């Protein structure tokens, strides 16, 4: 019942495959609901959890199909003047609003 986890059309004979990721702040960070006949993509779940952890501590966004170790997008709210302090590794400016940096939590 918590977090609206019981589907309104729940059926005792057929399950709905839902995934909930809840952060340490007790807030729902992600919900995915799959049809009963569709399997879950475990690699995608791990990718999303890694992304949530990374973006919680660094001012980055994660592009689609990102894998651990790939470049991250510097969020637009970070000014160019802030980049050297926040991201001491090199960064690449594709467009003024699209700046990439190596994954910040890797050495």
Domains of the chain with CATH codes = 59-107 (3.30.1020.10)
Could you give the C-alpha distances from 37 to 2, 6, 31, 73, in angstroms and in order? 25, 18, 18, 35
Q: Sign of the C-alpha dihedral, residues 97, 99, 51, 16? A: positive
- Output the average pLDDT for the chain: 87
Q: Are 89 and 104 in contact (CB under 8 A)?
A: yes
pTM (predicted TM-score): 0.76
| pLDDT higher at 65 or 4 | 65
Q: Are 39 and 54 in contact (CB under 8 A)?
A: no
Please compute the mean of the pLDDT values over residues 28-51 and round it to a whole number.
86
- Residue 36: predicted pLDDT: 74
Confidence of residue 32 (pLDDT cuts 50, 70, 90): confident
| % pLDDT > 70, the chain | 85
Please compute the mean of the pLDDT values over residues 29-53 and round it to a whole number.
86
**Which residues have CB under 8 Å from 73's CB, separation 6+?**
60, 61, 62, 63, 98, 99, 100
Confidence of residue 2 (pLDDT cuts 50, 70, 90): low
Residue 29 pLDDT > 70: yes
- Residue 58: predicted pLDDT: 95
């Amino acid at each position: 019942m918590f977090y609206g986890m019981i589907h309104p059309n729940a059926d005792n004979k057929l399950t709905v495959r839902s995934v909930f990721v809840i952060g340490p702040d007790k807030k729902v960070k992600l919900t995915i609901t799959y049809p009963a006949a569709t399997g879950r993509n475990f690699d995608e779940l791990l990718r999303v959890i890694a992304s949530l952890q990374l973006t919680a501590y660094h001012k980055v966004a994660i592009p689609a199909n990102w894998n651990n170790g790939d470049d991250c997008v510097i969020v637009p709210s970070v000014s160019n003047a802030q980049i050297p302090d926040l991201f001491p590794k090199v960064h690449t400016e594709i467009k003024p609003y699209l700046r990439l940096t190596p994954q910040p939590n890797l050495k």
